[in-house]
Amino acid sequence: MALFIKDEDIADLAPMSEIVEAMEIAMADHARAVGPFYPERIGVRARPPEGQPGYTLTTQIGGSVSLNVMAVRLMSNMSAQKRRGERTSAMSEGFNQRNWGVTVLFDMQTGEMIAVLPQFTLSGLRVGANTGLATKLLARADAETVAVFGSSKVARGDLEGVAYSRKLKRVQVFSPNAEHRQDFVRDMSEKIGVEIVSASSAREALDGADIITVSTGSRIPVFDGDWLRPGQFVSCTMSSPFPQRRVTPNWGARYADADPLPGMEIDEKTLMRADLIATLSTEMILNENQRDILDLIDSGKLNWEKFREIGDIAAGIQPGRRSPEELIVYKSSGGIGLQMAAIGAVVLRNARKCGVGKEVGGEWFSADMSFWHKKGFSPTQ
């Protein structure tokens, strides 16, 4: 039987304590070579006729042997081209106002499809659990003040993950839109039970912060790396923007505005000052040609010895924080299917326990091969 679960039910089925624990198990599995994931996001785009929205399908794949779940994340989206490499969702263009992405879960012992989950809420939880795990492993044990950059779904997930991993006393949030900041203060104060204040500037948000989370999608740095101090932990959950990845000949000529977009939401000084840079996957950085990191490596401003994968730290293969004075940056290399498998496993377990979702018989998603087996064949496709 496969369980279909609605997006609006997922948040209640995924307590932060459980999904951070599952994320730690899954990432440690990867470090021990029993948590496979494809270290590159696979994207296929259909170029639209002039003036019409295009279509993009993006896939992430990964699984955990310990959790017995393999996940395939499918993000199906209409989009409208604005400038070189920068697209806006069709939702903002007045289309059907729905996200059609799904994550499909498979049992790794039987091969059976066991669940289909909408990926929108799952995605925010993924980021929150990821940040929560990084905070657990890398922030100072006495960290209690957080600077949050951004006020969206992702920034909220970040804060929820941090609040699980450390006993917080104060949160300072900054984003350019004052109304969004106030919404964040109201909603998240109630959710995590901690004092949250709206900062009027990036410098004000950083004042006294032990932990800094950055989830803005900005193409320019949101603060100056010179403002950081020893002992802080910086979590940047947004990966390199697409324009900094592979570029084919005459790629820019497809669009009226061929000027390159700026880089990432943290500046190179933040990375260069760090005593340690943790990431999901160095292989993914290389496979996706993430130039925000690789340009610094190629120029000699950074070297790979400063990098550690979060799975190696979770598994105890590599050390995390070694002193209270270390400035540590967690720089995500991008979403991976293994993360969706970890959270999907928790959602599925709790949905079965609570009787949530709709069960559909496996005959709808499989083929009966007994006819061929009786004849002595073993068809695979």
Note the pLDDT of residue 239: 59
For the purposes of burial, counting CB atoms within 10 Å of the CB of 360, is it exposed (0-12), middle (13-18) or buried (19 or more)?
middle
Q: Which amino acid is at 247?
A: V
| Helical segments of 333-379, H only | 337-354, 370-374
Between CA 58 and CA 129 the distance in angstroms is: 22
Between CA 270 and CA 263 the distance in angstroms is: 13
pTM value is 0.88
Between CA 92 and CA 228 the distance in angstroms is: 36
Instruction: Specify the DSSP class assigned to residue 266.
Output: S
- Residue found under tokens 């021990």: 32
Q: Which of 322, 221, 240 is nearest to 281 (CA)?
A: 240
**With contact defined as beta carbons under 8 Å apart, do 29 and 140 qualify?**
no
Mean pLDDT in order along the chain per 10 residues (381 residues): 96 96 98 94 82 85 98 85 47 63 96 95 92 98 97 92 97 94 95 95 96 89 95 85 42 40 79 96 90 90 95 97 97 90 98 96 90 86 65
Helix (H, G, I), strand (E, B) or coil at 125: helix
| Token pair for 136 | 């657990």
**With contact defined as beta carbons under 8 Å apart, do 252 and 201 qualify?**
no
Note the pLDDT of residue 178: 92
List where CATH 3.30.1780.10 sits in the chain.
2-122+339-362
List where CATH 3.40.50.720 sits in the chain.
124-247+260-331
Q: Does domain 124-247+260-331 have CATH number 3.40.50.300?
A: no
Note the pLDDT of residue 329: 98
Note the pLDDT of residue 83: 43
Note the pLDDT of residue 335: 84
Quickly name the fold that domain 2-122+339-362 has: ornithine cyclodeaminase, domain 1 (3.30.1780)
